[in-house]
Structure formats: C-alpha cells, structure tokens
Amino acid sequence: MKQSRTQSALIQNTLLPLLYRNRKEELDRLYPRMLTLLSYSMVGMEEGMQCLQKLQREGIRMQMIVDEALTERYSLPSLINETLLDDIILSTDWKQNDTDYSYLFIPVLSASLVTKILNFDDCHPFSRFLLEWLFQGKKVGALSIGSDPFQKAWGRRGYDGMSPLLKTEMKSRLQKLRGYGVELLEAGQVSGWVRKAGTKRRQAPLIARGDVEEAHQQHRSIIHISVDTIITPLADDLARQYGIQIHRR
C-alpha cells in the first residue's frame, strides 16, 4: 500500500507551482513548503517516518535531505516506501542555494545532532543549515523522541537502564535547544505547528495511485474530487483498470 503512493510527493512539488503560477503567496499559504532533514537515531526512526507519512497525506510540499550515512542502513527505495516521500536528495549532493521553504523539520532528532547544534558545529551539513535558520529567526521544528530518554519508546528499546544523571543531562540539552529556537514536538503536534503561522490549509488537490488503491480495497466505484484536483497518470490508469470513476464536483 505504501509503495503505491511513492510518486505523489515529486508530482505534487512539480505540478502545484504550475497550478498556482503567479500566485506564489497563495501557494505558500495553502501549501507551505517544508524541508526535512533525515538522519539516523537509535530511537525514533519509526515514529519520525510515520510523521512524514502523515504530513505527506495532508498535502504539505516536502523535500527530504537524507544523511548519506543513513543509506548504509536504509536503501533509497525503502526510505521512499517508509516515508511516502520520493523527492529525496542525498546530503552529499545537496546544494544549499534553495532557501525558499516555509519550515525546516527534523523528524528524527538524534542525540549526536543535538550536540552538534549546541556546539555550533558548522562543519556538519545538517547542523550548519539548522544554525543558519536559527540565526535568521526562521521556523525550525523537531520530534523530540529521538533525544528524550523520558519517553516510553526508550524503554521499549531496552534503554531504560541508564542512570538518572544521564537522563537528566540529555533532557537538559533538549531544553537548551528549545531556548535556541527549536520547537520540540510530539508526533501529534506537528500538523498544528505547521498551521499555526497561517490560515488553515485545505487538502492538496492531488489524487495519487494510493488513493485509487484505497478506494478499490473499500469496494468504492466512484471517487469525488474538486474541480482543481490533479490526477496523476498512474492513478488515472489504475482507476480505469479497476473500473472506478473519478467525478469532479
């Protein structure tokens, strides 16, 4: 099911600017553009990827920069499958000349990345870009689970034997990071964080192959969409194959 939706991010990021040509302010208000920096952490990978899936389904325009070291643990196809994001750039190929994003989001905040930011490490590409955003007062958010040992996920991973001092030190570093301007979030808070700076957005006008697969599994014979909804070629072909009508209202 996940794999059937993997083309939606790249198509959305390509077609929405065409749909809203000469209306950039409206596009950014309705569909904020988010840069996601994904790296590895001992805890929080599953939760971070699930959060990216949710944001993708809500129509936020996302591009993901992947730490090259992460590809030693995950192949690019598996990352696409787990996050529903196919607009991916490796950190080694990333040119930081595009800053036209509304938000910077860290779905997996590792303890090592926290340390790099607190130490003002401008050699690592992720911490350097985070610091640049913080210096400019831009919006930076991060899921805290990867660096918060007080969350239950740490116990489920068998990391509940650490000393109270170690826990307190890790929590203290997180609070210091919050003081720098990073919004520390739970998974259920990310959508609200994205919306709070602007007008409530409507769902992205996009029907991807996964939507047709879902309709087929639910034995639906028709999908109702708005007049400005974009239908991807794969979704259109699959709807014909399943005999599902796509009706514009």
Angle at 81 between CA 220 and CA 148, to 5 degrees: 115
**CB hemisphere CA count around 88 (13 angstroms):** 23
Bridge partners, residue 224, by sequence: 247
Amino acid identity for residue 45 in this structure? M
Per-residue pLDDT of the chain (249 residues; tens, 9 = 90+): 333 444 467 777 778 888 888 887 788 777 788 899 999 999 999 999 999 988 887 778 888 999 988 988 999 889 988 888 888 888 888 776 656 788 899 999 999 999 999 999 988 889 988 998 999 888 899 999 999 999 999 999 999 899 999 999 999 999 999 999 999 999 888 888 887 744 444 444 677 778 888 888 888 998 888 766 777 777 888 889 999 988 876
Angle between helices 125-135 and 111-118 (to 10 degrees): 50
pTM: 0.72
Q: Which residues contact 34 (CB under 8 A, 6 or more apart)?
A: 55, 60, 61, 62, 63, 101, 102, 103, 104, 105, 194
- Tokens representing residue 210 in the block: 């996964």
Q: How far apart are CA 78 and CA 71, in angstroms?
A: 10
Q: What are the extents of the domains in the chain?
A: 31-195, 206-248
At 107, give phi and psi (nearest 5°). -75, -25
Q: How far apart are CA 56 and CA 12, in angstroms?
A: 10
DSSP 58: T
Alpha helix locations (H) across the chain?
Answer: 8-19, 24-30, 45-57, 76-83, 111-118, 125-135, 152-156, 164-180, 190-195, 209-217, 233-242
At 86, give phi and psi (nearest 5°). -110, 0
CATH 3.40.50.1950 fits 31-195, yes or no: yes
